Amino acid sequence: MDAIPASIHCASVLCAAPADRALAFLADGLELGRWALGCWQTRDAGDGVVQGHSLFDGSEGFVRPVLDAARGRVTYHVGSAPDALAPRIHATVESAPLPDTTTPGCRISLHAARTPDMDDARWLRLVRCHEVEVLLIQSLLAR
């Protein structure tokens, strides 16, 4: 397996949805459970936190999405317990024209920073997941 040595990764996609709708979708913790492969089938855990499970190993995880509408950004505080969450992933949304259409569109990007304790295999999995997750988001917003 080839390792990806970068310490920052970004996956982006154009979506046929207005930016404000996309941002609200990304900030919704229950919707997160429809596209985040590491936090599938989320349920409300209280205080703005959702709980889901990894499709890889079934482990449970917790996420608190924090919306910054003025910056078009959602920061995902993640961890294995609701009282041990750290801001590790963020999504950005910006209005963007779609080719050959007048439909309002946006660009959605998922950003991740590699933590010092993340081995090459775990980092590669995160990178690949984000590349698929933006496609899931694109598909869900198109419905």
E strand or H helix that includes residue 126: helix 120-142
E strand or H helix that includes residue 24: helix 19-27
What is the pLDDT, as a whole number, of residue 97?
A: 87
What is the pLDDT, as a whole number, of residue 87?
A: 95
The token duo for 39 is 């936090």
What is the pLDDT, as a whole number, of residue 26?
A: 98
Please, which residues have CB within 8 angstroms of residue 99's CB and are 6 or more apart in sequence?
none
What is the pLDDT, as a whole number, of residue 5?
A: 53
Closest CA to 25 of 12, 39, 15, 10: 15
Write the class of the CATH domain 8-142: alpha beta
What is the pLDDT, as a whole number, of residue 1?
A: 45
Q: Which residues of the chain have pLDDT under 70?
A: 1-6
Q: Can you point out the beta strands (E) in 1-121?
A: 8-15, 40-46, 49-53, 60-68, 73-79, 86-95, 106-113
What is the pLDDT, as a whole number, of residue 105?
A: 95
Q: Distances from the Cα of 141 to the Cαs of 15, 64, 72, 77, 123, in angstroms?
A: 7, 21, 16, 23, 27
